[in-house]
Chains A and B, each alone.
Chain A
Amino acid sequence: MKSRKLYNRISVLRKERNISRQELAEIIGVNFQTIGYLEREEYNPSLDLAFKISEYFELPVEMIFSPNPMKSLSEEIRELKQKSGGQ
């Protein structure tokens, strides 16, 4: 069975935290090349690895991974604001 492509925000979040691929790889316990593959969306992580990543970034897993192309974080925040009444 061919699996779906998963989109993610790892690259954006990693840059925001100002850490290198090597550092992130050491934190979540993978090879640094694997971080590159994940960021380029050339590899779908296991559920365990996806949770490790979401735990590190302290975000829900669906905020980091999605089967649909991801909107930018600012766009997402704008939509959330509109949903909550523009506060």
Chain B
Amino acid sequence: MNQQLSKTARKTWIVINIISIILIVSFFYLGQLLEVPAVFFAGGGVSVIIAITSFIKVFIKTGLWKMVHSSQHSLDERQVQVILNAMKYSYSIFTILIIAIVYGFALFNKGPVNVLVAACLLYIAHILPAAIIGWSEKYV
């Protein structure tokens, strides 16, 4: 049985999860800027733990992750409709995010997007539909 979280609790955990991802990248650049790798390892490590905890809490325990990654045959018509709608918004949000990052890197002469940013983007691409459903649906 999936754990039920209120809409407000779900929203809070989604925000925590996304902030922790932003923090991982921020600590990486802060460590580079200060030339102190310990900043990245300490801050980044804590952020990773927060990201994993919030991911389990809001996406795994509520069944959102399973729902979004299930085959359409195992879902009912309402769930399929909800997922398709979330995918539509994810596509738009992710496109805007990618364009902003690519232009941001070009504008500030940061060179090509590094592996850490790419990994974080890959993670965001995967959680976005589930996050949108968790954010907007009354019950999941």
Q: Is B108 an interface residue (CB 8 A)?
A: no
Instruction: Return A21 CB to nearest CB of chain B, in Å.
Output: 11
Cβ–Cβ < 8 Å partners of A30 in chain B: 76-78
Q: Mark B60-90, 1 if CB is under 8 A from A, else 0.
A: 0000000000000001111100000000000
- Hey, what's the 0/1 contact readout for A15-48 against B, CB within 8 Å counting as 1? 0000000000000011101101100001101101
- The secondary-structure label for the interface of chain B is loop
* Residue A49 CB within 8 A of the other chain: yes
Contact pick for A46, options B75, B77, B140, CB 8 Å: B77
Q: Provide the bound-state CA to CA distance between A46 and B140, in Å.
A: 20
Contact A49 B139, beta carbon cutoff 8 Å = no
For residue B140, which residue of chain A has the nearest CB? A33
Render B77-108 as a binary contact track against A, CB cut-off 8 A, 1 for contact: 11100000000000000000000000000000
- What are 24 A-to-B residue pairs whose CB atoms are below 8 Å? A29-B76, A30-B76, A30-B77, A30-B78, A31-B75, A31-B76, A31-B78, A31-B79, A33-B78, A33-B139, A33-B140, A34-B76, A34-B77, A34-B78, A34-B79, A36-B139, A37-B78, A37-B139, A42-B138, A43-B78, A45-B77, A46-B77, A48-B77, A49-B77
